[in-house]
Amino acid sequence: MDTNQQKAVILLSGGLDSTTCLAIAKQQGYRCYPLSFDYGQRNHAELNAIRNIAQTLGAEEHRIFNLPLAQFGGSALTDTAIEVPDYRDTDDIPVTYVPARNTIFLSIALGWAEILGARDIFIGASAVDYSGYPDCRPDYFASFQHMADLATKAGIEGRNFQIHTPLLDLSKADTIRQGIALGVDYALTVSCYQANSDGQACGRCDSCYLRKQGFAQAKVADPTRYVATIATS
């Protein structure tokens, strides 16, 4: 292990984007500390998939942080009373929006980064097919980074934080192409908002739709295991 390498915390959901983001951080030479969250929505198949990805991509240390967001409800991803909708083409913010989710995730990543002595945090957000989430926009990440420097001992001592968003301007197809070039095995990843207990994807939610379309546009065979199939445009 080269201890001169800088450490980075990488938010890892186990989906296509965050897995590619981890591969990019690794390729850039960082010692990678993936951070995942279990906010009540994950089944064992998904948690095992995430552990497998972290291990396969050579993480130094992987943490799965329990975050009981379900007690607040308010999103189809945290509240079982709200159904995950099928994909539809709209500019509205969908019911899968989890209020302040990226802010909560980045804040906890910031805390861990400061403890590790890391100054770099990676998040696999995409502004191109960002599903209308406000906390996936470039202005938001810039403001978080500014706040992080004011919030921390490291920041006020001049060791500034950097929020890396290497996928921000990539389409899903470009992300897949980049991941394939880095040797990512997308069969390990699960993007579906409601994967079943075997890790099979629904094939109907926004996340499945965008993923499926991405593989088609990248002209890469889709390794996803679906329980149902949908047409891609």
Give residues in contact with a second copy (CB under 8 A): 63, 65-69, 71-74, 93, 97-104, 106-108, 110-112, 114-115, 134-135, 137, 139-140, 143-144, 146-148, 150-153, 155-156
**Closer residue to a second copy, CB minimum distance, 58 or 73:** 73
Q: What is the arrangement of strands in the sheet containing 120-122, beginning at the earlier edge strand?
A: 63-66, 31-38, 7-11, 120-122, 162-164
User: Shortest gap between Cβ of 33 and a second copy (angstroms)?
Assistant: 11
**Closer residue to a second copy, CB minimum distance, 61 or 185:** 61
**Closer residue to a second copy, CB minimum distance, 85 or 174:** 85
User: Shortest gap between Cβ of 57 and a second copy (angstroms)?
Assistant: 21
User: Shortest gap between Cβ of 64 and a second copy (angstroms)?
Assistant: 9
User: Shortest gap between Cβ of 75 and a second copy (angstroms)?
Assistant: 8
DSSP codes of every residue in 143-211: HHHHHHHHHSHHHHTT---EEE-TTTT--HHHHHHHHHHTT--GGG----TT--TT--B-S-SHHHHHH
Q: In whole angstroms, give the CA distance from residue 230 to residue 106.
A: 33
**Closer residue to a second copy, CB minimum distance, 146 or 225:** 146
**What secondary structure letter does DSSP report for 85?**
P
**Closer residue to a second copy, CB minimum distance, 83 or 198:** 83
Phi and psi angles of residue 108, each rounded to the nearest 5 degrees, phi first? -70, -35
User: Shortest gap between Cβ of 224 and a second copy (angstroms)?
Assistant: 29
Q: What is the signed CA dihedral for 164, 168, 170, 174, rounded to 10 degrees?
A: 40
